[in-house]
Amino acid sequence: MITVELIEKYGAIKKTFDKNDLVFEEGNLPLNYYQIISGEIKMSNYNDDGREFIQGIFYSGQSFGEPPLFLNQKYPANAIAVENAEIFILPKENFMKLLEENPKVSIKIIENLAQRLYYKSVMAAEISTQEPEHRVLKLIDHGIAYFNFQKDQNGYLINFTRQQIGDLTGLRVETVIRTIKTLEKKGELKIINRKVYR
């Protein structure tokens, strides 16, 4: 998103996070802009009985957690490292200064927020009105376009666990397992030693 040169010029520091480390926590006020150098970060909520909902998964080069930063509101979700990660951390004031002095970065931020809003619009409609098969397929097809799924001779490898698919679509893991099997029977996707291809 923001080039290494520019973000470092404004005083960003690099920080490493181990797997399962918390980057920030639901309810806290935002102090920084975060941009992933390497690794994988998920943003998620837990309801009262511990059930998780994954808001999104972010990869190298992507930023996350900006909306509350712009609004001075508390984080609505947690950010957790799914695997070891290295992240640029830029204090809010420096970030705002960077934006002011580099109007083109604003456009990048807008495009990024627009992309995420688009994803949320599509998935919100899916989750609230569509049945499991439709939801899972939509998530997978979105993932092919916007998450970093790799294509090989079997098609696109959907490298999410059944649990992750459930946490992204609001379904329980058993339902996802059964749904994926049904979708395979219908020829919508392939299962090759437990991995899902589309």
Partner DNA sequence: TGCATTTTATGATTAAAATCATAAAACAAG
Partner DNA sequence: CTTGTTTTATGATTTTAATCATAAAATGCA
Q: Which residues make up the interface to a copy of itself (CB under 8 A)?
A: 45, 47, 51-53, 55, 66-71, 73, 76-77, 99-100, 103, 106-107, 109-111, 113-118, 120-125, 127-130, 169-170
Interaction of residue 178 with DNA, rule CB under 7 A: yes
Interaction of residue 138 with DNA, rule CB under 7 A: no
Query: Cβ distance 88 to 32 under 8 Å?
Result: no
Phi and psi for 119 in degrees, rounded to 5? Answer: -60, -45
Binding DNA by CB under 7 A: which of 177, 188, 189, 190?
A: 177
163 binding partner (options DNA, a copy of itself, none; Cβ < 5 to 8 Å by kind)? DNA
Both structure tokens of 127: 């989750």
Q: Is 101 exposed, middle or buried (0-12, 13-18, 19+ CB in 10 A)?
A: exposed
User: Between residue 59 and residue 88, which ones bind DNA under the rule CB under 7 A?
Assistant: none
Interaction of residue 122 with DNA, rule CB under 7 A: no
Which of 122, 189, 187 has the alpha carbon at shortest distance from 162? Answer: 189
Which of the 8 DSSP states describes residue 147?
A: S
150 binding partner (options DNA, a copy of itself, none; Cβ < 5 to 8 Å by kind)? none
